[in-house]
Amino acid sequence: MPTIYTAPNRPRHQASHLDRPLQWPEIESSAIQQWRDLTTGFPRRNAQPWPEHRENHASNTDTCPSDAGSSSCEDSASSGKNPRDVASYLKYLVRGFLKQYRATSLATDTGEIIPNKDSFIRSPKIAFLIDSPTNLTCQICQQTPLKMAISAADPNPSMIAILPCGHICCHDCINSWLTDHDSCPFCRIDMIHPNCKHKVQPRLIAQDTIHTLPETLPDGGAIGNMCFKCTEKHMRHRSVQRLIKLAGEFKRARSEAVDLGTRETVEVMRRAQEAFESVPEDDFLALSRIRYHQW
């Protein structure tokens, strides 16, 4: 039986618009939908590990056939399903692109030749997706060959690491350098976040990270005032305070909607509910933008 809200001590003729339950419209917004799209298909705690987690991380090289056939690793892993997560989606997207692009561009290859002793990459997306250098060598140890790996989830010493200035070297060398230094080993630009004073972490170049790399400093990129960990902590504290404030606003709006039952008060309540529920989704998208657009 539906609930009927009536105001106490109110004349009978004024209660006609209250003889029905309050309508709670379905909350929907672009931020909520983007959050749902990003998180659709995330593995449950007790679910079987995804196929990419069972790959041979020791070599971290592509085991799919080099030629484009009727079936492929990325097709069999994700056909008929939503992307499991953003990293997996990007990895299979890049893998599929590279397979078909290389097959069609070999005969008419006019890509830029990057010298094997070059340690500067202005645009890593262009360099490693279109020009596809095959002869790069780490210019610190001058031994490790530099190639784009499949995944950055399990880094190995020979994986390519890039700094905001655009200089690259192997993962092992840059980690050793940054242990005792606060600047790029090539151009000596400071690698420190101004506010939190933490060191800027190099980004790994792999199929699941190449499209999320920020622009290099020569291309207009920027080093964030705080590292991502400190930014996340700061935003979490601010979001908790915001949630507390919005929770109070919703309770007041709901109380007025129950007492008055007018269309205007119900709409105010609906907007207050939407504002409260969208905070986590908004913050997630904001953190993603920070992660992908600044070092």
* Local mean pLDDT, 10-residue blocks, the chain (295 residues): 45 44 49 50 40 42 40 40 60 78 63 67 90 86 88 82 95 91 94 94 90 91 91 90 94 93 93 93 85 83
Residues 282 and 162 grouped into a single domain: no
> Of 176, 204, 223, at which residue does a domain stop?
223
Residues 77 and 219 grouped into a single domain: yes
Domain with residue 208: its CATH number is 3.30.40.10
| Amino acid at the residue 83 | P
Residues 283 and 170 grouped into a single domain: no
Residues 153 and 260 grouped into a single domain: no
Residues 109 and 188 grouped into a single domain: yes
Residues 78 and 184 grouped into a single domain: yes
Residue 95 forms part of a structural domain: yes
User: Contact, 114 vs 133, CB < 8 A?
Assistant: yes
> Of 223, 239, 261, at which residue does a domain stop?
223
User: Contact, 226 vs 199, CB < 8 A?
Assistant: no
Q: Which of 178, 114, 182 is nearest to 140 (CA)?
A: 178
Tell me what pLDDT residue 18 has: 43
> Residue 26's CB: how many other CB atoms inside 10 A?
5
| Per-residue pLDDT tens digits for 199-230 | 999 999 998 888 889 999 999 999 999 998 99
How many structural domains does the chain have?
2
Residue 262 forms part of a structural domain: yes
Residues 76 and 211 grouped into a single domain: yes
Q: How far is CA 222 from CA 123, 165, 200, 231, 234, in A?
A: 14, 9, 11, 15, 19
User: Contact, 199 vs 178, CB < 8 A?
Assistant: yes
Tell me what pLDDT residue 113 has: 58
Residues 143 and 179 grouped into a single domain: yes
Supply φ then ψ for residue 137, to 5 degrees: -135, 140
Residue 115 forms part of a structural domain: yes
> Of 203, 223, 243, at which residue does a domain stop?
223
Residue 5 forms part of a structural domain: no
Tell me what pLDDT residue 46 has: 42
Residue 59 forms part of a structural domain: no
- Say if pTM beats, i.e. exceeds, 0.75: no
> Residue 187's CB: how many other CB atoms inside 10 A?
13
Residues 283 and 190 grouped into a single domain: no
User: Contact, 140 vs 117, CB < 8 A?
Assistant: no
Tell me what pLDDT residue 288 has: 81
Residue 242 forms part of a structural domain: yes
Handedness of CA 10, 15, 18, 19 (dihedral sign): positive
Supply φ then ψ for residue 161, to 5 degrees: -120, 140
Residues 278 and 165 grouped into a single domain: no
SS3 annotation, the chain? CCCCCCCCCCCHHHCHHHCCCCCCCCCCCHHHHHHHHHHCCCCCCCCCCCHHHHCCCCCCCCCCCCCCCCCCHHHHHHCCCCCCCHHHHHHHHHHHHHHHHHHHHCCCCCCCCCCCCCCECCCHHHHHHHHCCCCCECCCCCCCECCCECCCCCCCCCCEEECCCCEEEEHHHHHHHHHHCCECCCCCCECECCCCCCECCCEECECCCHHHCCCCHHHCCCCCCCCHHHHHHHHHHHHHHHHHHHHHHHHHHHHHHHHHCCHHHHHHHHHHHHHHHCHHHHHHHHHHHHHHHCC
Residue 283 forms part of a structural domain: yes
Write out the residue range of the structural domain in which residue 235 sits. 228-293
Q: Which of 228, 56, 218, 58 is nearest to 127 (CA)?
A: 218
Residues 132 and 263 grouped into a single domain: no
Residue 24 forms part of a structural domain: no
Residues 119 and 244 grouped into a single domain: no
